[in-house]
Amino acid sequence: MVLDQGNRKQDLRLRPPRNPLDRRAVAWWRTQLLLTVAAPVAVLGLLGALIAPARFWLLLPAAVIAAPGLVVGVLLPLWWYKVHRWEVTDDAVYVRTGFFWMEGRIAPMSRLQTVDTMRGPLQRIFGLTTVTVTTASARGALKVKGLDHATAAELAERLALVTQATPGDAT
């Protein structure tokens, strides 16, 4: 895709971004998944311990949820870490995400509208931040989840300066 930005032409091609997320994203994702699995397992386990006649019928589903949940919680974040990538060049923001269906997206700098950062409670514990880049696109915002907080702050500042310096209304 060739875009005209002022007097210069940009040649933007969909390609794999170069930068991995922060390695702590693996622990963050793992914690999220394991907490999601732990809640129903804990409830079923507690009820199984308290209700003797139904113990087997409560502990069986707890085990059925816990076993694959543990495997998914350990292995899936490693796979995500290998797949998720991001990069910012002078011309565009590149993001690749996905699991079974990998998605690669490019947002030309001329299309950027807003840049936001978000840190949930677990992200703060792990020192991570999500950067959201809103574009003039029907596909919606690009999100880079799992960046080191300092890296995310620098990235957000850099992109905010680009959105201010780019002429036009990003449409």
Q: At what angle do helices 55-83 and 24-50 cross, to 10 degrees?
A: 180
Q: Partners of 130 in the beta sheet?
A: 118
The CATH class that applies to domain 84-165 reads: mainly beta
What does the pLDDT look like over 32-46, one tens digit per residue?
Answer: 999 999 999 999 999
Contacts of 129 (CB under 8 A, 6+ apart): 117, 118, 119, 123, 147, 148, 149, 152, 153
Phi and psi angles of residue 29, each rounded to the nearest 5 degrees, phi first: -60, -45
What does the pLDDT look like over 92-122, one tens digit per residue?
Answer: 999 999 878 888 999 988 888 889 999 999 9
Residue 118 to residues 9, 76, 78, 106, Cα–Cα distance (Å): 33, 23, 23, 21
What does the pLDDT look like over 62-95, one tens digit per residue?
Answer: 999 999 999 999 999 999 999 999 999 988 999 9
